[in-house]
Amino acid sequence: MDELIKQGQWWWPFFVPIATGILAMLGSWLGSRWGKTTEHKQWLRNKKMEAYSDFLSVAESMVDDFTRWPEVSKPEHSIKHLSLKRSVLKVVGSPEARHHAMEIEVNAWIIFRFQQLFDEKETNGWPDLDREEFIEVCYKQVGTVQTDLIDLVTAVRKDLGAYTRDDADVDKANRDFAAKFLGYNSEKRILSPTEII
């Protein structure tokens, strides 16, 4: 120590412990900050997964009801439940997922309106419209919802970092199946309310 003082480096013995303390505090702060960021990302991912799975399960159930129509009753309750689930998704979902969820909800309400009109026609008769043609148009709209569901699942996979190149082939196969099953052409089109009436 006396040697360091003679050389004018008296501060050196004090610098090492102070620098070590500062670096320890900085490391602690950075570790805490990184931990909070990681914890928040994990929390957000869990909330997204919960919101996505809730919305998708209600939407899949609703589509199942739509495909069994007119044998089953109109799924108005399912659509309202879908709207509630979409409200959570609006908070945590990606913009692309929120867009597809909105398309699903809009098309679901259009189908519901179709079904209301169908019931009115069943009661009052079918003078201006062919019953089978009306059902076919409704099923094509269900095909739109199924296509929107495929797009939503793709957006969810991308948002959660689970999308791979193989998923594009699976999505195409799912679209082809929906088209074959419902006789739906893959041109996505939302009908306007005036076209429904």
Tens place of pLDDT for every residue, the chain, 197 residues? Answer: 566 566 666 566 677 778 788 877 887 777 777 776 788 888 888 999 999 999 998 888 888 877 777 676 666 777 888 888 888 888 888 999 999 999 988 888 888 888 778 777 777 776 666 777 777 777 778 878 888 888 898 899 888 887 777 777 777 777 776 666 555 444 444 444 344 43
Tokens linked to 75: 């799924």
Closest CA to 81 of 115, 55, 114, 50: 55
Count CA atoms closer than 13 A to 183's CA, side-chain side.
8
Domain layout of the chain by residue ranges: 51-196
- Residue 89 carries which side chain, given as an amino acid letter? L
Number of C-beta neighbours around residue 158 at 10 A: 14
pTM given for the model: 0.66
Cβ neighbourhood burial of 88 (10 Å; 0-12, 13-18, 19+):
middle
Between CA 131 and CA 142 the distance in angstroms is 17
